[in-house]
Amino acid sequence: MEFTLSEERRMLAETAARYLRERYPLELRHANAARAEGFSPAQWREMAELGLVAALLPPEAGGLGGAGADIALVFEHLGRALVVEPFLATGVLGATPLWRLGGPEAGALLESAAAGATLLALAHGEPEGRYAPAHVATTAREGAAGWRLAGRKAVVLNGDAAARLVVSARVSGALTDEDGLALFLVEAGAPGLTRRGYGTVEGGRAAEITLEDCPAAPLGAPGTAFPVIEEVLARACLALSAEVLGLAETAKGITLEHMRTRKQFGRPIGQFQALQHRMVEMVLEIEQLRSAVMLAAARLGAPRRERERAVSAAKNLAGRVGRLVAEECIQIHGGIGMTWEHALPHYAKRLVMIDHLFGDSDHHLARFRDLGMAG
Amino acid sequence: MDLDLSPGEAAFRDEVRAWLAAALPARIRDKVRAQKRLTKADHEAWHALLAGRGWLCLHWPRALGGAGFTPVQKHIFEAEMVAADAPRIVPFGPNMLGPVLIEFGTAAQKAHCLPRILSGADWWCQGYSEPGAGSDLASLATRAVREGDHYIVNGQKTWTTLGHHANAMFALVRTDPAAPKPQQGISFLLIDMASPGVEVRPIVTLDGEHEVNEVWLTDVRVPVENLVGRENDGWTVAKYLLGFERTGLAGTAFSRQGFEHLKRIARIEQADGRPLAEDPAFSLRMAEVEIDLMAMDVFNLRMVSAANAGEAIGPEASLIKIKGTELRQRITDLLRRAVGPYAMPFVPEAFDEGYNDAPIGPGHAAPLARQYFNMRKLSIYGGSNEIQKNIVAKTMLGL
Ligand SMILES: Cc1cc2nc3c(=O)[nH]c(=O)nc-3n(C[C@H](O)[C@H](O)[C@H](O)COP(=O)(O)OP(=O)(O)OC[C@H]3O[C@@H](n4cnc5c(N)ncnc54)[C@H](O)[C@@H]3O)c2cc1C
């Protein structure tokens, strides 16, 4: 058993913490989020140069880490600073299929992605699919001129700005079959690709995507992509759970400070036991989440069932704890916790909205139960 | 015991329902239904229609132009308003200041202000809270100093709901800083927002909306005849008003409507090949909320009926406020969760009249996350839920 960080990870953590502390104040975060791309390409590149994107990928994919502990560490720090740059879309959702399935372009693309030069996105979820991991109606057909995709993809994170999209499509089987799925690489300028970009509630960007007879290059052998899709989602859920941990830590810190300084009835509101106990509840739940994130990070390389159970446990807790912390911190702040000008509500929004990505707490609860019974 | 409406009550409900169906403009109803932004003109148009029917000022006696409703009638009326997707009555003039003036106002104040509330000539806002005085309202610091036949007012109010639409504010100000208890040196003043020295600054809330404001008061001259009640006795007036504020905060009609909306959406949304309404976990969450809602409805009726019998509502009002707001918040939470990933898109322009682009995802999804975050206010204002619990512990339980 070993709970201390390795030397490399300790340095990575320090690098991330220092950069975010010195170069990523909340006003800048808001300004980055308000740009057309939804982030700052310059800062994205700086963070990539520090190795924060490469840390999400293993050496064989041109990275410097790639283990669960690396993902958890990076995303916890991103959460602490409420970073909007496309770490998840590029470093996890887009890069993992390229690493796992290769293809002629994969090496160069991964290198460029890790350097912050090429933006990737995963177009997998569909308008009717909710959180079902194998729900894919988009079709792929091979013709004389190569593969062509047709279908619609929903809430594609950073899908509006991505230079390359990894798109899931079905070559055979029924709507929710795990067999018959394939992943493809689609160029941003491909004919037949339409993207409608928009902002999201917590300040990110996403896109609705329509594919009409859109040319695409297969990643791996079409029809067998589901295990990779599942692994991509597992890595994303770990990343998001760790992000919730970081967000919750900062929200807790801001709220503690408020409890110490805000005075009503002649004393700091932190002296009211009703509020003290609620803060303690939050601390307890955040510790539960921290442990669940550690477990999921440790099990990321384990056999499928073990990995998936640990990841669903973490994402379920992240959903529950995220909502609790968001709601309680706003409440303890009172009116000021409802204002755009204050930092806290922006953390609260991200804490809550992460539950809407890649399975909410109910989805992962059911999944955890189902995985347990199967074994 | 009979939990159903009497024939007379049912006839009244039908009358209200029929009138709403005929009188509420479709344009306004559709905006409320789609949770689009209402303009000042929308509110004013709707107030004028209600006033024309005699149903704007529900608490006031008929002789003064009010509806003269009994508590039961008022309850029925408010439920019908919500069910019809009518805008809620902006409460500050009709529900708050009106009853206060009727109880404490001078003849001149009544003669001047009440007709102007009915006609819509005045839009009032509530100037109670200050940056340093929220839950501890009695610590308010806005100062009013008597100078001849004027008070000179200096200070800052905050969280002033719709203050940017208002031309008048009723405010609590400190007139005697030396009083032995903070509650004793406070007065209730009517302030013309057009007076020199009044500055309204917007506060943008976490959902990006402008609903509340800061109001800065610098050497504002207020004629002494704008004092309501006695000088230094404003706390009595404020407490009287608070009673009216709190009864409206249960919002069971909103919960009922939100729940019906949730049922509609849960039948449309698909989860794992079946409607979300049949999802094992989600359907149980809905069932649990419905049980609470049914019980809450009856709790509310118990209070309404006690009020109808002339009984004073004490700390039960606090219980209703806590439970009612928690329930509304839980329903907005489920609504947000019901739409899955499509809770994410945020297109603020879509809430303006005349926006006709296709929605992103199902049309019902767009307002839900925004509504969830906005409704966090329910447990903060009107006396936070923690303060309500303190009241219950102290006055009801003697702890
Ligand atoms: C959207 C919105 C609209 C509003 N509109 C108006 C308006 O039109 N006019 C107006 O005058 N005001 C308005 N308010 C203000 C509202 O009444 C105050 O926000 C409320 O009184 C709480 O005060 P506060 O925000 O300063 O929080 P604080 O009083 O600072 O409270 C912070 C936290 O401490 C808790 N707390 C405080 N004291 C205790 C205690 N003794 N025991 C346990 N917990 C405690 C509170 O419950 C809260 O959780 C509005 C507020 C909002 C959010």
Res B241: pLDDT? 87
Q: Which of B206, B273, B379 sits opposite A345 (nearest CB)?
A: B206
Indicate the number of domains in chain A.
Answer: 3
Nearest CA-CA distance, residue B256 and chain A, Å: 22
The per-residue b/e assignment along B261-295, b for 16 or more CB within 10 angstroms, e otherwise, is bbeebbeebbbeeeebbebebbeebbeebeebbee
Q: Report yes or no: B128 at the A interface, CB cutoff 8 Å.
A: no
Res A150: pLDDT? 98
B264/B374 same-domain check: yes
Does A154 contact B361 at a Cβ distance shorter than 8 Å? yes
Res B312: pLDDT? 78
B228/B259 same-domain check: no
Alpha-carbon span B227 to B189, nearest angstrom? 5
Residue of B nearest to A273 (CA): B386
Residue to mutate among A136, A261, A264, with most B CBs inside 10 A, is: A264
A235/A366 same-domain check: yes
Residues 235-264 of B with CB under 8 A from A: none
The per-residue b/e assignment along A254-279, b for 16 or more CB within 10 angstroms, e otherwise, is bbbebbeebebeeeebbebeebeebb
B170/B198 same-domain check: yes
Average pLDDT, chain A: 97
Residue B207 belongs to some domain of the structure: yes
pTM metric for this prediction: 0.97
Supply the CATH number for residue A275's domain: 1.20.140.10
Supply the CATH number for residue A14's domain: 1.10.540.10
Query: In the predicted model, is pLDDT for residue A306 greater than 80?
Result: yes
State the amino acid at position A364 in one-letter form.
Answer: H
A91/A135 same-domain check: no
B273/B195 same-domain check: no
Query: In the predicted model, is pLDDT for residue A375 greater than 70?
Result: no
Residue B279: CB partners within 8 Å, gap ≥ 6? A362, B271, B272
Alpha-carbon span B60 to B55, nearest angstrom? 10
Q: Which helix (H) or strand (E) holds A166?
A: strand A164-170
Alpha-carbon span A361 to B295, nearest angstrom? 27
Query: In the predicted model, is pLDDT for residue A374 greater than 60?
Result: no
Res B16: pLDDT? 98
Res A1: pLDDT? 73
Report whether residue B135 contacts ligand 1, using a CB cutoff of 6 Å: yes
Residue B57 belongs to some domain of the structure: yes
Per the structure, the complete domain to which residue B142 belongs is given by: 124-232
Nearest CA-CA distance, residue B308 and chain A, Å: 34
Largest CA distance in chain B: 76
Res B313: pLDDT? 79
Report whether residue B161 contacts ligand 1, using a CB cutoff of 6 Å: yes
Res B245: pLDDT? 64
B163/B224 same-domain check: yes
Residues 209-238 of B with CB under 8 A from A: 212
A137/A81 same-domain check: no
Res A136: pLDDT? 98
In the DSSP assignment, the letter for residue A88 is I
Report whether residue A329 contacts ligand 1, using a CB cutoff of 6 Å: no
Q: For A308-364, what is each residue's pLDDT tens digit? A: 999 999 999 999 999 999 999 999 999 999 999 999 999 999 999 999 999 999 999
Q: Which helix (H) or strand (E) holds B144?
A: strand B143-147
Residue B72: CB partners within 8 Å, gap ≥ 6? B9, B304, B305, B308
Per the structure, the complete domain to which residue A34 belongs is given by: 7-114
A301/A346 same-domain check: yes
Out of A62, A81, A114, a domain closes at A114
Out of B172, B205, B232, a domain closes at B232
Supply the CATH number for residue B195's domain: 2.40.110.10
Residue A187 belongs to some domain of the structure: yes
Structure tokens at A73: 């560490």
Alpha-carbon span A354 to A239, nearest angstrom? 11
Query: In the predicted model, is pLDDT for residue B109 greater than 80?
Result: yes
Residue B101 belongs to some domain of the structure: no
Report whether residue B255 contacts ligand 1, using a CB cutoff of 6 Å: no
Res A345: pLDDT? 98
B221/B257 same-domain check: no
Query: Minimal CA–CA distance to B82: which of B336, B328, B382?
Result: B328
Alpha-carbon span B242 to B120, nearest angstrom? 23
Q: Report yes or no: B135 at the A interface, CB cutoff 8 Å.
A: yes
Q: For B271-319, what is each residue's pLDDT tens digit? A: 989 999 999 999 999 999 999 999 999 999 898 888 888 887 788 889 9
Report whether residue A279 contacts ligand 1, using a CB cutoff of 6 Å: no
Neighbour tally for B194: CB within 10 Å: 8
Does A356 contact B372 at a Cβ distance shorter than 8 Å? no
Number of H helices, E strands in chain A: 11, 9
Secondary structure (3-state) at B223: strand
Residue A1 belongs to some domain of the structure: no
Query: In the predicted model, is pLDDT for residue A113 greater than 80?
Result: yes
Q: What are phi and psi of A168, to 5 degrees?
A: -90, 145
Which atom of ligand 1 is found nearest the CA of B125? 8
Res B326: pLDDT? 97
Lowest mean pLDDT segment, chosen from A71-85, A166-180, B190-204, B231-245 = B231-245
Q: What would the mean pLDDT of B14-24 be, rounded to a whole number? A: 98
Lowest mean pLDDT segment, chosen from A2-16, A82-96, A213-227 = A2-16
Nearest CA-CA distance, residue A75 and chain B, Å: 20
Res B247: pLDDT? 61
B203/B269 same-domain check: no
Neighbour tally for B81: CB within 10 Å: 22
Q: What is the DSSP track for B50-77?
A: HHHHT-S-TTS-GGGTS----HHHHHHH
Q: To the nearest 5 percent, what fractions of chain B are helix, strand and coil?
A: 55, 15, 30
Indicate the number of domains in chain B.
Answer: 3
Ligand 1 centroid to Cα of residue A257, in Å, is 18
Out of A65, A90, A114, a domain closes at A114
Out of B199, B232, B265, a domain closes at B232
Residue B147 belongs to some domain of the structure: yes
B225/B258 same-domain check: no
Q: To the nearest 5 percent, what fractions of chain A are helix, strand and coil?
A: 55, 20, 25
Does B344 contact A201 at a Cβ distance shorter than 8 Å? yes
Report whether residue A152 contacts ligand 1, using a CB cutoff of 6 Å: no
Supply the CATH number for residue B259's domain: 1.20.140.10
B224/B259 same-domain check: no
Nearest CA-CA distance, residue A345 and chain B, Å: 6
Cite the active site residues of B: 245
Residue B33 belongs to some domain of the structure: yes
Report whether residue B159 contacts ligand 1, using a CB cutoff of 6 Å: yes
Q: What would the mean pLDDT of A97-104 be, rounded to a whole number? A: 92
Partners of B145 in beta bridges: B152
A167/A135 same-domain check: yes
**What residues of chain A lie within 8 A of the CB of B158, using their CB?**
335
Out of B62, B89, B116, a domain closes at B89
**What residues of chain A lie within 8 A of the CB of B139, using their CB?**
264-266
Q: What would the mean pLDDT of B74-94 be, rounded to a whole number? A: 96
Count of CB contacts below 8 A, A vs B?
A: 132
Alpha-carbon span B257 to A63, nearest angstrom? 53
Query: In the predicted model, is pLDDT for residue B249 greater than 70?
Result: no
Q: Which of B281, B360, B381 sits opposite A365 (nearest CB)?
A: B281
B155/B210 same-domain check: yes
Out of A173, A188, A223, a domain closes at A223
Structure tokens at B338: 């019901």
Q: How confident is the model at residue B246 (pLDDT cuts 50, 70, 90)?
A: low
Answer yes or no: are the C-beta atoms of A56 and A70 closer than 8 Å.
yes
Res A209: pLDDT? 98
A52/A142 same-domain check: no
